[in-house]
Amino acid sequence: MVSTSPFPEKIPSIQKAIAVLWPSFATAIVATGIFFSAFHPKDLVPFNLDIDVSPLAAYSIGFFLFWLLGIVSSYATMYFIISNCQVLNKQQGQFTK
Amino acid sequence: MQSQKTNTGEQGLYAEHKKIYPREVSGYFTRLRMLSVVVLLGIYYLMPFARWDDRQALLFDLPARKFYIFGLTLWPQDFIYLAALLIMAGLSLFFFTALLGRVWCGYACPQTVWTEAYLWMERKIEGNRGRRMKLDKAPTSAAKIRTKALKHTVWIIFSLWTGFTFVGYFTPIYELGGRLFTGDLGPWETFWILFYSFATYGNAGFMREQVCKYMCPYARFQSAMFDSDTLIVAYHPERGEPRGSRRRGTDFEAQGLGACIDCNLCVQVCPTGIDIRDGLQYECIACSACIDACDEIMDKMSYPRGLIKYTTENAAEGKGQHILRPRVMVYATILLVLFGLLVSNLVLRIPLELDVIRDRNTLYRETRDGLIENVYTLKILNMDEQPHRYILRAEGVDGLKLVTDQEEIFVEASSVYEMVVRLQADEFNLEQRSVPVSFHLQATDANHLSIVEEARFLGPGKT
Ligand code: SF4
Ligand code: SF4
């Protein structure tokens, strides 16, 4: 497995960005759907503050929060895998340039 | 699948991206594909304008938390139906993939459909493959800027229309259109129109086959759904090789050549930029462009068609075709069962729901007449598109009395009605501290609209 692992520093950054942004985007859609079919945005205003948010705004903000969460998680996963690969590559003496 | 090449895929994954200029093709499968593109785009752009009973036929009304699907209105409580629909969509993908390979990718995937549309606009404005390549290589000139600007303007207008239509599935589109013209669009509506437009513009205009290669999970796990009887696009090396150019009408077999004239047309038409002659590759979206291209060459050379064709691994090896195999039957059975369950549940679905919440502040209280009393808040959800009158009953304890201020409860169409009711019971009839009771709600004007909801009745218990 290690011998075939590509040098992670050669993965174009656009593909790294896709690998982080895209799965979290898809997850956020599902999460938003499940979350808001269980909870009404009206019941979610923190500390019973009297803020008037339109439902569409609430859904959108919820979606972005879920997306952000997913991004953090995906990014952490990618970071661990890449740093792991780098260590392994070094150990194998495959670390070129 | 054994014949699937993985190493080219892996290298491709980390290779620098080269812009692909798919050459135009014509032929049977291309016409089929164009038909599919036109029909699907037509449905997408026209559907939000369709009406049903004075409302939008297909509307996922997020602000009102109701989904209208033709004659059906789904509430958040009906989430399970949507989940079932999604599961069925996923299973269908499995089923059709096992049977027909990547037909979805080649003919129906939004990514393919919109890419075709954008490619069509590009061709109309920038010209055919050769001219597009020349234009991109050419030094900047006024003419080049004009052509490019025209293309992007057309693309952007089309994208904006796409984004507007998309949001029209979530907010009533006629009102949305009205607000658009009077400049009263809400900030989030504007945002989502732009967001979706931008995504369409980027995916169909620029990312194209890269979406299939790097973003699509289906492309990656499709091999798990494939077997040797799955329909694939394949080149027949035993007939084609050794490839080589030759003059028309010469006896190529005498020259030691196969049927492939190495014209490279199959590579040039490929939207994902692969050479199908290298074998089945995960990048191949089975769009069949190379089939049409090669068939045309075969016709020109007066060779029989089908050097590249739809086939299965078994058929290509002369082992015959097996359509009904266990895998397909299993997928089909699960799909049919799910479909049956969904339909029967939808037919039997009672558009009425009752939520009972016991007053949390007091356990119970004693009335002046010495009865034990519990207070409940009832929420009646009339999910029907007609208003209804209901009669409420409670039972579970001997001599249980229901105290409300209404004989009949009237609830408007598609709305929620909240009311407070009290239950009273004699202490002697209460066996325990907490006994189950049930509320029965029955519509007076429709027999099938009835529902029972369980609750607890608290008391001091037997002493
Ligand atoms: S289009 Fe047909 S003949 Fe031409 S290179 Fe491809 S396989 Fe060979
Ligand atoms: S190899 Fe042929 S079928 Fe596959 S994507 Fe390319 S043109 Fe389409």
pLDDT digits (tens, 9 = 90+) for B410-457: 999 888 899 999 999 998 888 888 899 999 999 998 888 899 999 999
Q: Which residue of A4, A19, A37 is in closest CB contact with B76?
A: A37
Please check the confidence at residue B195 and state whether its pLDDT lies above 60. yes
Chain A residues closer than 8 Å to B186 by CB: 54, 56
Decide: B289 in ligand 2 pocket, CB within 6 A: yes
Chain B residues closer than 8 Å to A57 by CB: 187-188
Average pLDDT score over chain B: 88
Contact between residue B353 and residue B80 where contact means Cβ atoms under 8 Å apart: no
CA distance B457 to B463: 17
- Token output for B443: 């519509």
To which H or E segment does residue B365 belong? strand B365-366
Strand-pair category, B66-69 with B72-74? antiparallel
pTM above 0.80, yes or no: yes
Decide: B280 in ligand 2 pocket, CB within 6 A: no
CA distance B55 to B64: 14
In a domain, A43, yes or no: yes
Contact between residue B118 and residue B204 where contact means Cβ atoms under 8 Å apart: yes
pLDDT digits (tens, 9 = 90+) for B250-262: 888 888 888 999 9
* Mean pLDDT calculated for residue range B132-144: 92
What is the predicted pLDDT for the residue at A8?
A: 62
Across the beta sheet with B58-61, what order do the strands follow? B58-61, B66-69, B72-74
Residues of A engaging B, defined by a Cβ cutoff of 8 Å = 4, 6, 10-12, 15, 18-19, 22, 33-34, 36-38, 40, 54-57, 59-60
CA distance B234 to B176: 48
Q: Do B14 and A38 touch (CB under 8 A)?
A: no
Closest CA to B13 of B215, B189, B180, B158: B215
* Mean pLDDT calculated for residue range B278-304: 91
Q: Do B188 and A40 touch (CB under 8 A)?
A: no
Burial class (CB in 10 A: 0-12, 13-18, 19+), A55: middle
Residues 6 or more apart whose Cβ sits within 8 Å of residue B193 = B160, B163, B164, B166, B167, B185
CA B245 to chain centre: 45
Contact between residue B24 and residue B129 where contact means Cβ atoms under 8 Å apart: yes
In this complex, is the C-beta atom of B17 within 8 Å of any C-beta atom belonging to chain A?
A: yes
pLDDT digits (tens, 9 = 90+) for A24-75: 999 999 999 888 888 887 777 665 555 667 888 889 999 999 999 999 999 9
Decide: B297 in ligand 1 pocket, CB within 6 A: yes
What is the predicted pLDDT for the residue at B350?
A: 87
Q: Which residue of B13, B63, B65 is in closest CB contact with A54?
A: B63
A:B CB pairs within 8 Å: 45
Name the one residue in this structure whose structure tokens are 């069962």.
B337
Determine the distance in angstroms separating the CA of B23 from the nearest CA of chain A, rounded to an integer.
26
CA B280 to chain centre: 27
Q: Do A12 and B17 touch (CB under 8 A)?
A: yes
**By CA distance, what is B14's nearest residue in A?**
A11
In a domain, A23, yes or no: yes
What is the predicted pLDDT for the residue at A45?
A: 65
Q: Residue A93: which pLDDT band, with cuts at 50, 70 and 90?
A: low
Domain chopping of chain B, boundaries: 15-349, 352-458
What is the predicted pLDDT for the residue at A97?
A: 44
What is the predicted pLDDT for the residue at A9?
A: 64
Chain B residues closer than 8 Å to A12 by CB: 14, 16-17
**By CA distance, what is A25's nearest residue in B?**
B215
pLDDT digits (tens, 9 = 90+) for A6-15: 566 677 777 8
Please check the confidence at residue B1 and state whether its pLDDT lies above 50. no
Scored b (16 or more CB within 10 A) or e, B58-81 reads bbebbbebbbbeeeebbbeebeeb
**Which of B10, B65, B357 should be substituted to probe chain A, the one whose Cβ sees the most A Cβ atoms within 10 Å?**
B65
Decide: B233 in ligand 2 pocket, CB within 6 A: yes
Decide: B103 in ligand 2 pocket, CB within 6 A: no
In a domain, A92, yes or no: yes
Q: Looking at the structure, give the CATH architecture of the domain made up of residues B352-458.
A: Sandwich (2.60)
Concatenate the DSSP letters of all residues of A69-81 into one string.
HHHHHHHHHHHHH
pLDDT digits (tens, 9 = 90+) for B309-365: 999 888 888 887 777 888 889 999 999 999 999 999 888 888 899 999 988 888 888
CA distance B74 to B385: 11
Chain B residues closer than 8 Å to A38 by CB: 76, 79
Decide: B264 in ligand 1 pocket, CB within 6 A: yes
In this structure, the residue with its CA closest to atom 8 of ligand 1 is B260
pLDDT digits (tens, 9 = 90+) for B72-119: 888 888 888 888 888 999 889 888 888 888 898 999 999 999 999 999
To which H or E segment does residue B419 belong? strand B415-425
Decide: B266 in ligand 1 pocket, CB within 6 A: yes
A53: containing domain: 13-96
Query: In chain B, pLDDT over 90 holds for what percent of residues?
Result: 51
Q: Residue B2: which pLDDT band, with cuts at 50, 70 and 90?
A: very low
Determine the distance in angstroms separating the CA of A60 from the nearest CA of chain B, rounded to an integer.
7
Q: Measured from the CA of B277, which atom of ligand 1 is nearest?
A: 7
Contact between residue B122 and residue B151 where contact means Cβ atoms under 8 Å apart: yes
Please check the confidence at residue B6 and state whether its pLDDT lies above 50. no
In a domain, A1, yes or no: no
In a domain, A17, yes or no: yes
Residues 6 or more apart whose Cβ sits within 8 Å of residue B442 = B390, B391, B393, B449, B450
To which H or E segment does residue B424 belong? strand B415-425
Number of domains into which chain A is organized: 1
Q: Do B188 and A4 touch (CB under 8 A)?
A: no
In this structure, the residue with its CA closest to atom 8 of ligand 2 is B287
Phi, psi of B80 (to 5 degrees): -60, -35
**ipTM passes above 0.85:** no
pLDDT digits (tens, 9 = 90+) for B7-62: 444 444 445 567 889 998 999 999 999 999 999 999 999 999 999 888 899 999 88
Decide: B287 in ligand 2 pocket, CB within 6 A: yes
- Token output for B254: 């005498």
**Most ligand 2 atoms within 8 A of CB, residue of B109, B115, B209, B233 to mutate:** B233
